[in-house]
Chains A and B, each alone.
Chain A
Amino acid sequence: MDDAKASRTVTITNHAGMHIRPISLVAKLANQFRAKVEVIKDNQRANAKSVLEMLSLGGRKGEEVLLEATGEDAEAAVDALARLFANKFHEDETDGPS
Chain B
Amino acid sequence: MMRKLQGIAVSPGLAIGEALVLDIEGFSIPRRLVTRDAVQQELDRLHKALADVGEELARNRDAVSRELGAKYGAIFEAHLQILQDSGLRNDLEELVRQKNYSPEYAVSRVVRRYAELLQKVRSRNLADLFDIEKRLLRNLLGRPREDLSNLRTPVVLLAHNLAPSDAANLDPNYVKGFVTEVGGPGSHTAIIAGALEIPAVVGTGPFLQEITSGTKVIVDGHEGIVVLDPDDETRTRFEREAAARRFRAARLETLRDLPAVTACGTRVELFGNIEFPDEVQHCADRGADGIGLYRTEFLYLGAQREPDEEDHFRAYSKVVQSMGGKPVTIRTFDLGADKVPHLPDPEDERNPFLGLRSIRLSLRHVPMFRRQLRAILRASALGDVRVMFPLISTILELRHAKMILADVMEDLEEHHVPFNRNLPVGMMVEVPSAVILIDLFVDEVDFLSIGTNDLIQYTLAVDRSNKDVVGLYNASDPAILKLIQMTIEAARRKSVPTNLCGQMSASPTYTMLLLGLGLRQLSVPPSAIPEIKKICRSVTIEQCEAVARRALTLETARDVKSYLRGELKKCVPDLVP
Q: Which residues of A contact B78 (CB under 8 A)?
A: 20-21, 23-24, 51
Interface string of B59-71 (1 = CB under 8 A from A): 0000000001001
Determine if A94 is an interface residue (Cβ-Cβ < 8 Å).
yes
How many Å from the CB of A88 to the closest CB on chain B?
14
Chain A: CB-nearest residue to B128: A20
Pick from A20, A27, A49, A56: contact of B121, CB under 8 Å: A56
Q: Do A96 and B347 touch (CB < 8 A)?
A: yes
CB of B351 within 8 Å of the partner chain: no
Hey, which chain B residues are within 8 Å of A58, CB to CB? 120-123
Partner of B114, one of A23, A52, A57: A52
Residue B125, interface by CB 8 Å: yes
B contacts with A, residue count (CB < 8 A) = 26
Say whether A97 contacts B75, CB under 8 Å.
Answer: no
Residues of A within 8 A of B114 (CB): 52, 55-56
Q: Which A24-69 residues have a C-beta within 8 angstroms of B? A: 24, 27-28, 47, 49-53, 55-59
Q: With A52-B114, A55-B123, A56-B117 in contact, is A21–B87 under 8 Å at CB?
A: no
Q: In the complex, which residues of chain B have a beta carbon less than 8 angstroms from the beta carbon of A21? A: 74-75, 78
Contacts of B86 in A (CB 8 A): 49-50
The docked-state distance in angstroms from the alpha carbon of A34 to that of B122 is: 31
B174 within 8 A of A: no
**How many angstroms between the C-alpha atoms of A24 and B78 in the bound complex?**
5
Chain A residues within 8 Å of B344, by CB: 97
Closest to B71 in A: A97
CA distance A57 to B121 in the complex (A): 7
**Interface range, A side:** 20 to 34
Q: Is B82 an interface residue (CB 8 A)?
A: yes
Complex Cα gap A23–B75 (Å)? 11
A83: CB under 8 A from chain B?
no
Taken together as a complex, chains A and B put the C-alpha atoms of A53 and B68 apart, in Å, by 29
> Which one of B77, B117, B125 contacts A19 once the chains associate, using CB atoms below 8 Å?
B125
Does B124 sit within 8 A of A, measured CB to CB? yes
Q: How far is the CB of A91 from chain B (nearest CB, A)?
A: 9
- Bound state CA distance, A77 and B85, in angstroms? 19
Q: Which residues of A contact B75 (CB under 8 A)?
A: 20-21
CA separation between A21 and B82, bound complex, in Å? 11
Report Cα–Cα, A90/B75, bound state, in Å. 15
Bound Cα distance A69, B68 (Å): 36
13 further contact pairs, Cβ within 8 A, besides A57-B121, A58-B122: A20-B75, A21-B74, A21-B75, A47-B87, A51-B82, A51-B85, A53-B87, A55-B123, A55-B125, A56-B123, A58-B121, A59-B121, A94-B71
Interface residues of B (CB under 8 A from A): 68, 71-72, 74-75, 77-78, 81-82, 85-88, 114, 117-118, 120-125, 128-129, 344, 347
19 pairs of residues in contact across A and B, judged by CB atoms under 8 Å: A19-B125, A20-B128, A21-B75, A23-B78, A24-B74, A24-B77, A47-B87, A50-B86, A50-B87, A52-B85, A52-B88, A53-B85, A55-B125, A55-B129, A56-B121, A58-B120, A58-B121, A96-B347, A97-B344
